[in-house]
Chain A
Amino acid sequence: MSEELNQGLGTANRAGNREQTAAERPPVSPNGLDKEVVLAIRNLSVVYPTREASIVAVNDVSFNIFKGELLGLIGESGCGKTTTAMAILRLLQPPGMIAGGEIILAGKTDLVKLEGAQLQAVRWRDVALIPQGAMNSLNPVMRVHEQIGDAIDAHVTPRMSRDEIKQRILTLFGLVGLPARTFDLYPHELSGGMKQRVCIAMAIALNPALVVADEPTSALDVIVQRIVAQNLLDIKNRLGVSILLIGHDMGLMAQLADRMAVMYAGNMVEIAPARTILTEPLHPYTQLLIEAVPTIKTRKPLKLTEGLTHDLRYPPPGCIFQSRCPLVMEVCRRVRPPLKETKPQHQVACHLYDALQ
């Protein structure tokens, strides 16, 4: 027990020293073009067919994930973040299905077109998952090392010996600050933070190009949240893995993300470097979102009180945000604003910036 605490404190201290807000960090590469694109999502649409009409949970969404970056995907509950992530992993649970678009891995493979054995081979080797609920994501009847080991076993050829696998797993534990004794434990013998770190270790077991992390810290207390967040930064910096991080904790996002993508009701409304999103948000929704972030020192009235105002099955024509937008114009009710680059590296879907292109 004390062992784990020491480990935890060690990592927490390191986190404390290194802590930087996105605003202080230098911006990533002046223009995104010279960076290698790990995953390109093109016009992705995901629907959940229901009896009357389909819910369009992801509507014609396009974005890139660059090598070695941490892209934060934010937006309120139900806006389609998990659906986007699961579509990328090809793990949509029925009735959800990809209605159109491409998910291009490393400029070559379209994940949408893969099936069966090909899909199985790409999974974990190229794209891994850190799940939303680490609590139930580990098989309760298998020891930790078996669960990491079977992922390694399923993908590495020629097969690694038991000893090699053990060494690999212990190295992974080192990277995320897990004590070696975790190796032989069952999930119920781990604390929540340890479970989440096991999931992180598992995700990087095959050194994938991309790790999708769906609210990896949501069920943890603040201290453990910071430790896990630091783990994510560590693996990004040390291994150069790209991370798609989903979450609605703006504070944490600001600490971690290189770029941020803002979703609203299944649509991508703004993508920009993290500090730009925080300091000069362009989309009215992003502006409200940033303003609504509570701070410890000052109280402010919550401007963003309503949830989604339209039925996802019947989106209005024109801008998706029109019913809540304080700046709505006549054109917004007719024409859907496309996501366009208005400033270098800054994309926004809003008619206010039509003149800027």
Chain B
Amino acid sequence: MRGLTGKYLLKRFGMFVLTIWLGMTIIFIIPRLAVGDPTSALLGRLMSKGGNVENSAELIARWKDRFGLDQPLHIQYVRYLYNTITFNQGYSLSAFPATVDDLIQRTLPWTIGLLVVATLISFVLGNAIGALMAWRGTPRPVKSLLPFSLVFTSIPAFMLGILLIWVFSLTLNLLPYAGGFDRKVSPGWNPEFILNVARHAILPALAVVLVRMGSWALGMRGMMITADGEDYMVMAQAKGLSSGRRFWKYGVRNAILPQVTALGVAIGSIAGGFIIVEQIFSYPGIGSQLFRAIQDNDYTLLQGIVFYIIVGVAIAVLILDLTYPLIDPRISLKKN
């Protein structure tokens, strides 16, 4: 743990808190830019669109009472901050009396599961392909096949999703194309259910993996070529080390470092792109929920989802930041 100094930890954690605070503040400000009482305004808009909001009077009353919407702005702000970080973001406008946090926590595990798995697979696979493309010791036949794995890179994920559904579900009838699991299996930690979930996850995960893989591969290929030109690679060769050791401990081990940094930067956009993919596959995750919230004009749920996405991305970046000094000894010196 030599790279993890107290100062580094503090700095990274500070960044984490700052990110979330900024996100929260923006969420707070935007609805208040509109004139008037945001809750009534929203409800009014909802009703004018013909939406049916039952108990609207009760909703408004409970809302004002709980979140102090008749208080001055700075008090509202403090209460809002407090409520948000204690996971008490109020009621969904479209599913009252369900709370925003309850609704999101039902869909969140689906998204996290699929997103983490798909991101990791695309990262590992893409970097492996890129490293092999650049390595001089890669067998010729393998080398000539590798570039074909990158043809999907230029297709947007949602279009690839539609293509995958058409090929694997509608034409070949191999895999399900909608939902997270079949109604006929009972949810729980039983093999049947887990298998069913995995089958449902394959196509949406594939859509993300195939699209993302290419950019990792191209990045890694460049990094690997750079590493190959470094003096320590010549030394490794001069030492008579096996090709495998030179590839892993000298090549990949160095080339992967900027890739991990890039992962930290890309995580936000990966999450963003994933929302659309979920919608294509009617996946019961946070992305589909976001779509529904937009359709229903459920502004509170929308805010909640945005908050959760910001927190999720910030946590992922924090984890990467904390891992990085462990894989790159140069990042921060242990001072003693």
A124 is an interface residue with CB less than 8 A from chain B = yes
Q: On chain B, which size bracket covers the interface?
A: 20 to 34
Map CB proximity to A onto B315-328 as digits: 1 under 8 Å, 0 otherwise: 00000000000011
Q: Is the CB of A136 within 8 A of B230?
A: yes
Tell me the residues in window 114-170 of chain A with beta carbons closer than 8 Å to chain B beta carbons: 119-125, 128-129, 131-133, 135-142, 150-151, 154-155
Q: How far is the CA of A89 from the CA of B242 in the complex (A)?
A: 16
Q: How far is the CA of A316 from the CA of B232 in the complex (A)?
A: 38
B254 is an interface residue with CB less than 8 A from chain A = yes
Chain A facing B: main interface SS: mixed
Tell me the residues in window 238-279 of chain A with beta carbons closer than 8 Å to chain B beta carbons: none
B240 is an interface residue with CB less than 8 A from chain A = yes
Q: A140-B254, A141-B254, A188-B329 are in contact. Are A131 and B234 (CB under 8 A)?
A: yes
Q: Is the CB of B231 within 8 A of A137?
A: yes
Q: Which of B239, B242, B250 contacts A124 (CB 8 A)?
A: B239
Q: How far is the CA of A141 from the CA of B257 in the complex (A)?
A: 10
A91 is an interface residue with CB less than 8 A from chain B = yes
B249 is an interface residue with CB less than 8 A from chain A = yes
Q: Is the CB of B235 within 8 A of A137?
A: yes
Which chain B residues lie closer than 8 Å to A93 at the CB level? 234
How far does the Cβ of A130 sit from chain B's closest Cβ, in whole Å? Answer: 10
Q: A133-B231, A186-B329, A186-B330 are in contact. Are A139 and B240 (CB under 8 A)?
A: no
Tell me the residues in window 187-236 of chain A with beta carbons closer than 8 Å to chain B beta carbons: 188-189, 202
Which chain B residues lie closer than 8 Å to A136 at the CB level? 230-232
B106 is an interface residue with CB less than 8 A from chain A = no
Tell me the residues in window 294-336 of chain B with beta carbons closer than 8 Å to chain A beta carbons: 327-330, 333
How far does the Cβ of B93 sit from chain A's closest Cβ, in whole Å? Answer: 52
Please name the residue on chain B nearest to A116 by beta carbon: B243
Q: How far is the CA of A123 from the CA of B238 in the complex (A)?
A: 6
Which chain A residues lie closer than 8 Å to B330 at the CB level? 140, 186, 188
Which chain A residues lie closer than 8 Å to B45 at the CB level? none
Q: A186-B330, A189-B333 are in contact. Are A139 and B250 (CB under 8 A)?
A: yes
Q: Is the CB of B249 within 8 A of A138?
A: no
Q: A139-B249, A140-B330, A186-B330 are in contact. Are A151 and B239 (CB under 8 A)?
A: yes
B241 is an interface residue with CB less than 8 A from chain A = yes
How far does the Cβ of A136 sit from chain B's closest Cβ, in whole Å? Answer: 4
Which chain B residues lie closer than 8 Å to A150 at the CB level? 239, 241, 245, 249
Q: Is the CB of A139 within 8 A of B237?
A: no
Which chain A residues lie closer than 8 Å to B236 at the CB level? 139
How far does the Cβ of A211 sit from chain B's closest Cβ, in whole Å? Answer: 11
Which chain A residues lie closer than 8 Å to B64 at the CB level? none
Please name the residue on chain B nearest to A93 by beta carbon: B234
Which chain B residues lie closer than 8 Å to A189 at the CB level? 333
Please name the residue on chain B nearest to A199 by beta carbon: B235
Tell me the residues in window 213-239 of chain B with beta carbons closer than 8 Å to chain A beta carbons: 230-232, 234-239
How far does the Cβ of B136 sit from chain A's closest Cβ, in whole Å? Answer: 9
Q: How far is the CA of A357 from the CA of B240 in the complex (A)?
A: 43
- Count chain A CB atoms within 10 A of each CB in B238, B241, B249, B257 and give the residue with the most: B238
Q: Which of A91, A120, A135 contacts B234 (CB 8 A)?
A: A91
How far does the Cβ of B331 sit from chain A's closest Cβ, in whole Å? Answer: 10
Q: Is the CB of A120 within 8 A of B235?
A: no
Q: Is the CB of A139 within 8 A of B239?
A: no
Which chain B residues lie closer than 8 Å to A135 at the CB level? 231
How far does the Cβ of B119 sit from chain A's closest Cβ, in whole Å? Answer: 24
Q: A138-B235, A139-B254, A141-B328 are in contact. Are A151 and B240 (CB under 8 A)?
A: yes
Q: How far is the CA of A303 from the CA of B306 in the complex (A)?
A: 75
Which chain A residues lie closer than 8 Å to B240 at the CB level? 119-125, 151, 154-155
B253 is an interface residue with CB less than 8 A from chain A = yes
How far does the Cβ of B148 sit from chain A's closest Cβ, in whole Å? Answer: 26
Q: How far is the CA of A186 from the CA of B2 in the complex (A)?
A: 11
Other A-B contacts than A91-B234, A139-B253, A151-B239, 5 sampled, CB-CB below 8 A, are: A91-B238, A123-B238, A140-B329, A154-B239, A154-B240
Q: List 15 A-B contacts (CB under 8 A).
A: A89-B238, A93-B234, A123-B239, A123-B240, A124-B239, A124-B240, A131-B238, A136-B230, A139-B235, A139-B249, A140-B254, A141-B257, A142-B253, A150-B245, A188-B329
B-side interface residues toward A, CB under 8 Å?
230-232, 234-242, 245, 249-250, 253-254, 257, 327-330, 333
